[in-house]
Amino acid sequence: MKSPTELTEAFRANGLKVTPQRQLLFRLMHGNTMHPTAEALFSDASTQMPGISLRTVYQTLTDLASMGELRLIDVGAGAVRFDPNVDDHHHVVCEMCGDVRDVYVAGSQNLSIDGLDGFAVDSTSILFHGSCAKCA
Amino acid sequence: MKSPTELTEAFRANGLKVTPQRQLLFRLMHGNTMHPTAEALFSDASTQMPGISLRTVYQTLTDLASMGELRLIDVGAGAVRFDPNVDDHHHVVCEMCGDVRDVYVAGSQNLSIDGLDGFAVDSTSILFHGSCAKCA
DNA sequence: TTGCTAATCTGCATGAATTGTTAACTAGCA
DNA sequence: TGCTAGTTAACAATTCATGCAGATTAGCAA
């Protein structure tokens, strides 16, 4: 994800306005490795800006996602999570505490895959399920 | 997934009762390659047994899943899908029509993975996103 | 076959996550 | 400084899934 300053430029360039709510969310997501849910971010944002709406958090996150500045990740645990890391990477989720971390996978071009006939594949997501060091 | 007859045995052996509703669902899921949602199965079941409850469909599917007779798959499109194929396999989903098909992946032991330190991995799911032949 | 009892079914209520709606508000340009 | 399109907040609505309670039934035992 771009820096808050760069995002300000990018939003204006796209005809979108840069409000205090959005700037706060830019800062909260920049460099964030927590893979937060919308609710979690809303909670964080609320401490710094009481009265901010959950709807606004969702709105801004989906705007960022559609600009390619964030990735949505679904670990099958109810709520979607947001990841400012847009590198080509995957995830591991702890089934006990729900913690999610980034995983880098190399060598996938050597996989032998059967069943993709007729499909044009756009993207691949690999999700590892297990238990983290703390929960083991 | 086992055959309806075998499932009848298995349910009784576990102290679970075999009702007409359950038998119908056994038949509807056996060999089913559609990866249906609970709603879709409910719809199918309703034509053969009007009055069956959606609650019962969820209940039976959950029971089957906890017995290891089916797998739950989440393609990030809202509802969870159910797969009677419990082999070690993965899935591809068409982003246009939502169709899901089984994919077999070999060679994953040769992947080079970075970021799993401290995690004990129980399972891995690979999901391919793209467009199917009909929607391309 | 009959009766008992725990398991099940249905219908409805509830809950969690997300999106739709609308009137009031404001960023950013002229 | 004013205008106007884009935003926000509050609330309603939707979707998917689970909790609950009273009526019903499968399956065992006599």
> pLDDT tens digits, residue range B29-86?
999 999 999 999 999 999 999 999 999 999 999 999 999 999 999 998 889 999 999 9
Report the DSSP beta bridge partners of residue B71: B83
A131, B117 Cβ separation under 8 angstroms: no
CA B34 to chain centre: 9
Contact B128 A136 (CB under 8 A): no
Average pLDDT, chain B: 94
Spacing of B70 CA from D16 C1' in Å: 19
Spacing of A95 CA from C16 C1' in Å: 19
Q: With contacts defined as CB-CB under 8 Å, which chain B residues touch A76?
A: 74
- Cα distance between residue B61 and residue A59, in whole Å: 35
Give the residue-averaged pLDDT of A25-42: 96
CB B5 within 7 Å, strand C? no
B78 dihedral zone (left: phi>0; alpha: psi -120 to 50; beta): left
What is the pLDDT, as a whole number, of residue B110? 83
Stated pTM of the model: 0.89
What is the pLDDT, as a whole number, of residue A6? 95
Contact A131 B115 (CB under 8 A): no
* Best B113, B119, B125, B127 residue to mutate vs chain A (most A CBs within 10 Å): B119
Q: pLDDT grade, residue B107 (50/70/90)?
A: confident
